[in-house]
Chain A
Amino acid sequence: MENWRKSPIVFMFTLLPPALWLTAFFVLPLSLLWLFSFGEKSGITGIDITWTLANYARALEPLYLGIFLKSLWIAGATALICLIIGLPVALAISFASTRTRPWLLLLIILPFWTNLLIRTYALIATLRGNGHVNSVLGWLWKIFGAQFTPLEILYTDGAVVTGLVYVHLPFMVLPVYAALDRIDRSLIEASLDLGAGHVRTFFTIIAPLAMPGIVSGVIITFIPAFGAYLTPDLLGGPDSQMIANVIDRQFKAANDWPFGAALSFILLYAAFFGLAMRGLIGRRAVMGRAP
């Protein structure tokens, strides 16, 4: 690392273009949105920045509070189910042989590279009234000679949670796997040698040691699930709307940009809060490990 004053021309040449782009096309749009959140509508398209807090206050109305709670509930359920599935998967990967391990990891990450919209569409085809799940169930029912009525799975909160788990599972498996991989295997062997069973060893030795990874996984599945737009839009019913869908409506159908901007910033602050928590817990874990 050299001091930038040593070659200021090279420094400016490398610093300015990306910094300006970021300022003009990222910081500035967000700042504009931030200003709007303190504004009032005037006329059809006009917005006066009056530094009112009314937009934020409106977010506390029962209707919107309900949607926040619903988003919290859906994102919480998503993170929990991801944890319940992701923990054993990560465990299986970390104890797999060195030859199969990279392949298993690849299999978990691969769906992540396919388009979010397409994966959601694949779920629609799977879950809808005459979709794959219902046809498999109907076929099973037929074998046992029972009458089958297709289940209403699509367009429910359950479908939204399924969709979010489907999309965010890799976010859980990877950090948990990374934490499990760092555990000293001799501790687990010692626990088993001293008579603890596998379940007890898991809860008293493995889980506490993997806790930073688990917390990190829960937070990074929770944050994108909380702000999800496409999944509730396509898989949810009329009452499974989440915050992002309400924001979308404020900017399009309802044409109330200041309120939409305030909701966006509440979502943004929630995301930052989650990330800060993750950083804090991660740092504490590192310090706790130091002698």
Chain B
Amino acid sequence: MKRFAKLTRRAPSGLLDYHRRWPLRLVMVATLIFLYAPVVALMAFSFNDSKRNIVWHGFTLKYYEKLFANTELMQAFANSLTIAFFSTLISVLLGTLAAIALWRFKFPGQRLYEGVMAMPIVIPEICMGIAMMAFMARTGWPQDLIWPLNLGAIMIAHVAFSFPFAAIVIRARLESFNRQLADAARDLGASEFHVFRDILFPHLSPALLAGGLLAFTLSLDDFVITFFTSGPNSVTFPVKIYSMVRFSVTPEVNAASTILIAMTIGLTAIGLRLHYRSQFQETAK
């Protein structure tokens, strides 16, 4: 925090203390209530001892127990974690390679490559979902493989939109790498593999972890693209929650949602912390 304070400008004078004026305070507080009240209510009512989701009847964990007894939902949860795990591994691998290629080399078509890589991030989700669905249907992608191979189509789609994000995080870390270190190692006879393993990799490791956590949450969180690529036997946690939500509002859905919220917020917080710490370390040196 101290380091951060130095970078920002001096505190505003009394004349410009806009944040202390009541209209702005009011908007700020109202906005935060608008953003948080529905989600906090959702999480609170997952512990409510009543089927109807409105009045507080006392604390219970029975909806969580019910949740863990629901085999379909647990299967969907296992599917989500499996997909996220493999998608993360591949995304970090591809993201690292892409980041290194773009950082180290000058090559024709570089701008085009960067542009195409940014596309999965910016195009409407429905377009990507539909495209993947059409692609899997037309290439005759096998539908009824044994678990976990039946999740392959979803994993492939998740990697396609996750690895560009991982590449961005990893490339940001590469910017702080001293190229001369690698050059020196090569001059002293290290092979490309040794340079990567002993010099580049240790420097990159916080970003690899941060990029990995980002890819994991993206995969765990995705609904629209998964919805279009999943089949009847490859239902993920969000897709399952969707079918429950369509059906009705129940405390069980609240409990399932609360678990997912806790997981994604926890993972993203760790990921961002690592990302910023790794960047601040470099600027401090």
A residues near B (Cβ < 8 Å) are 1-4, 7, 9-11, 13-15, 17-19, 21-22, 25-30, 32-33, 36, 85, 88-89, 91-93, 95-102, 104, 107-108, 110-111, 113-126, 128, 130-132, 135, 166, 169, 185, 188-189, 192, 198, 223-224, 226-227, 229-230, 234, 244, 247-248, 251, 257, 260-261, 264-265, 267-268, 271, 275
Please judge, given known A-B contacts A115-B261, A244-B126, whether A97 and B11 are in contact too, CB under 8 Å. yes
| CA distance in complex: A125, B45 (Å) | 10
Residue B105 contacts which of A3, A25, A226, A244 (CB distance < 8 angstroms)?
A3
Cβ contacts under 8 Å, A36 to chain B? 134
**CB–CB A234/B160 < 8 A:** no
User: How would residues 21 to 65 of chain B score, 1 for a CB under 8 Å from any chain A CB and 0 otherwise?
Assistant: 001110110011011111101100100000011100000000000
| CA distance in complex: A3, B106 (Å) | 5
| A interface: dominant SS | helix
Please judge, given known A-B contacts A18-B95, A26-B119, whether A92 and B16 are in contact too, CB under 8 Å. no
* Interchain residue pairs A-B with the least CB separation, the first 6: A227-B124, A29-B135, A122-B38, A14-B101, A29-B131, A18-B98
B residues near A (Cβ < 8 Å) are 1, 4-5, 8-9, 11-13, 15-19, 23-25, 27-28, 31-32, 34-39, 41-42, 45, 52-54, 93-95, 97-98, 100-101, 104-107, 113, 116-117, 119-120, 122-128, 130-135, 138, 156-157, 159-160, 163, 167, 192, 217, 221, 223-224, 228, 238, 241-242, 245-246, 249, 253-254, 257, 260-261, 264-265, 268
| CA distance in complex: A275, B123 (Å) | 10
Q: Which residue on chain B has the smallest CB distance to residue A87?
A: B27
Taking each of A21, A32, A117, which has the highest tally of chain B beta carbons within 10 Å of its own beta carbon? A117
Cβ contacts under 8 Å, A260 to chain B? 130
Cβ contacts under 8 Å, A97 to chain B? 11, 19
Can you list 25 A-B contacts with CB-CB less than 8 angstroms, sorted by A residue number?
A2-B104, A14-B105, A18-B97, A25-B132, A25-B157, A26-B160, A30-B127, A36-B134, A99-B5, A101-B8, A115-B221, A115-B257, A119-B39, A122-B257, A126-B37, A126-B38, A130-B54, A131-B54, A185-B12, A226-B124, A227-B125, A227-B127, A265-B127, A268-B127, A275-B122
- How many A-B pairs with Cβ below 8 Å? 254
**CB–CB A234/B19 < 8 A:** no
Please judge, given known A-B contacts A14-B101, A264-B130, whether A132 and B41 are in contact too, CB under 8 Å. yes
| CA distance in complex: A166, B39 (Å) | 11
**CB–CB B24/A92 < 8 A:** yes
**CB–CB B119/A121 < 8 A:** no
Besides A14-B100, A18-B167, A117-B223, 12 more A-B contacts (Cβ < 8 Å) are: A2-B104, A14-B98, A15-B98, A15-B101, A17-B94, A18-B94, A18-B95, A18-B97, A118-B241, A125-B38, A223-B122, A247-B126
Shortest C-beta distance, B126 to chain A (Å), equals 4
Residue A189 contacts which of B16, B116, B130, B192 (CB distance < 8 angstroms)?
B16
**CB–CB B126/A118 < 8 A:** no
| CA distance in complex: A230, B23 (Å) | 34
| B interface: dominant SS | helix
Residue B107 contacts which of A11, A27, A118, A275 (CB distance < 8 angstroms)?
A11
**CB–CB B53/A125 < 8 A:** yes
Please judge, given known A-B contacts A18-B95, A115-B238, A271-B122, whether A125 and B41 are in contact too, CB under 8 Å. yes
**CB–CB B134/A32 < 8 A:** yes
| CA distance in complex: A110, B123 (Å) | 23
Cβ contacts under 8 Å, A120 to chain B? 245
Residue B17 contacts which of A27, A95, A169 (CB distance < 8 angstroms)?
A95
**CB–CB A110/B98 < 8 A:** no
